[in-house]
Each structure stands twice: as structure tokens, then as C-alpha cells.
């Protein structure tokens, strides 16, 4: 047998072996999505064990719903919208890969400090503009102003989130604490942050919006 013939015989034998044991093809578009939650203490899971925080519970809920997503925690307690904007670029760089979705949850600390709603809107505007420039999908999560800040402040603050979501044509979830705010049994002793049961309610209510944003 010549060297050429031997080579052809070996290749034929290898092909027969591969056909006998076919490799299952990977479905198109099945890469596990990466979600980055950029926010403050509400995102960070302030006052709770890591296993009970918002991002961990959201990841678990997504996986239970059949979406093998990874949710990274980009929440820092005390952050204003300006501080979130300041760390946006290095936060994205730290992920190592481009996320499939960024959840933007900022502004609660601006409101608690009585910062002008226009300043909050400006910083969120810059965050959304940068994410749009990078072609990253966004879910804007809103906050509501406390009643003691007055009707004018509340009107300006509450309106900035839906306005920015419309401007950038992003998915929008109106109120992070929906279903939890004002219910003492779902809030920690500080009167501000959700407890474990409250987090589960928040995740359950927000899950459809996150799933829609990932689609």
C-alpha cells in the first residue's frame, strides 16, 4: 500500500468513526446571558446575607424560569446617580465581556439627600447614552420620591424615569420597591431596605420585565 493510499484509508476510517458517534450540535443563540445590575444598596442587598440579596435571587428566578443567566452585582450602598455614572466604564470593563443586559437602578440616594431631580436626570441620561453607544440593552428601574419632599419635587423626580426610558427606547420597570414599600413586615429595621421576603416579592414582580428585556 502506498503512503497516499494509506493516508486515504486512515481518513476514511476516521470519518466512519465520527459518523458512528455523532457530536450533538449546539443550538444557535444558546449562550448563557450575562446581566449586570448597576445600582445602590437596593441592588447590593444591603443588610442581608449574600444568598438573600437581589442579584442572587434574580439569578435563581431566571434559572428557574429556564433562562441560564448569570447576574452580576454592581450595587454599591450609598451611591448616587453621579457616582454610578463615574464607575460605569470600569464596571463594564471589570465584567470581562459585554453584558447582554444592564439593569440601571439609581437615584434613591439622590432623592433621600434632596438633590435636584434635574441633576439625577442628567447623570442617568449620561449612563443611558453610554450604554446605547456600546449597544447594550438596558432595563431602567424607577424610584418614587418620599411624600415629605413636597408635591413639586415628587412630580419632577417621579417623572424623570419614564421620560428617560422613552427617550432611549429601553424597557422600563416603574418602581423597584413595588409591593414592598410601606409594608413594615417586608422592610428591615432601618425602615428603608427590603428584608429577604421583600426581596423575593421584588424579584417576582420584576422578573417579567427582565425576561422581556433579555428577549
Specify whether 26 is catalytic. Answer: no
How far is 48 from 190, CA to CA, in rounded Å?
Answer: 12
Is 193 an annotated catalytic residue?
yes
Q: Are the C-beta atoms of residues 63 and 106 closer than 8 Å to each other? A: no
CA distances from 131 to 78, 103, 156 (A): 22, 11, 24
Cα distance between residue 20 and residue 8, in whole Å: 18
List 40, 41, 110, 158, catalytic entry: 41
Per DSSP (E only), the strands in 15-117 are 34-39, 70-75, 101-105
Burial 28-48 (b: 16+ CB within 10 A, else e): eeeeebbbbbbbbbbbbbbbb
The set of residues, in sequence order, having a beta carbon less than 8 Å from that of 47 and lying 6+ positions away, is 188, 190, 193, 195
Active-site residue identified among 40, 110, 158, 193: 193
- List Cα–Cα distances, 37 to 25, 27, 46, 59, 131, in angstroms: 32, 27, 14, 11, 13
Catalytic residues: 41, 190, 193
Amino acid at each position: 500500500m502506498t503512503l497516499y493510499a494509506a493516508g486515504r484509508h486512515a481518513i476514511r476510517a476516521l470519518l466512519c468513526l465520527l459518523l458512528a458517534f455523532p457530536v450533538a450540535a449546539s443550538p444557535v443563540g444558546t449562550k448563557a446571558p450575562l446581566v449586570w445590575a448597576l445600582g445602590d444598596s437596593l441592588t447590593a442587598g444591603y443588610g442581608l446575607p449574600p444568598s438573600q440579596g437581589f442579584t442572587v435571587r434574580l439569578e435563581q428566578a431566571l434559572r428557574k424560569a429556564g433562562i441560564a443567566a448569570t447576574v452580576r452585582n454592581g450595587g454599591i450602598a450609598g451611591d448616587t446617580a453621579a457616582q454610578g455614572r463615574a464607575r460605569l466604564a470600569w464596571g463594564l470593563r471589570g465584567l470581562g465581556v459585554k453584558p447582554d443586559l444592564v439593569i440601571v437602578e439609581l437615584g434613591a440616594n439622590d432623592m433621600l439627600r434632596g438633590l435636584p431631580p434635574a441633576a439625577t436626570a442628567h447623570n442617568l441620561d449620561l449612563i443611558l447614552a453610554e450604554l446605547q453607544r456600546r449597544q447594550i440593552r438596558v432595563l431602567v428601574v424607577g424610584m418614587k420620591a418620599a411624600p415629605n419632599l413636597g408635591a413639586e419635587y415628587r412630580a419632577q423626580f417621579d417623572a424623570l424615569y419614564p421620560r428617560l426610558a422613552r427617550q432611549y427606547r429601553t424597557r422600563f420597570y416603574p418602581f423597584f420597591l413595588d409591593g414592598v414599600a410601606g409594608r413594615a413586615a417586608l422592610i428591615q429595621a432601618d425602615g428603608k431596605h427590603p428584608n429577604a421576603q421583600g426581596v423575593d416579592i421584588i424579584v417576582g414582580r420584576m422578573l417579567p420585565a427582565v425576561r422581556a428585556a433579555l428577549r
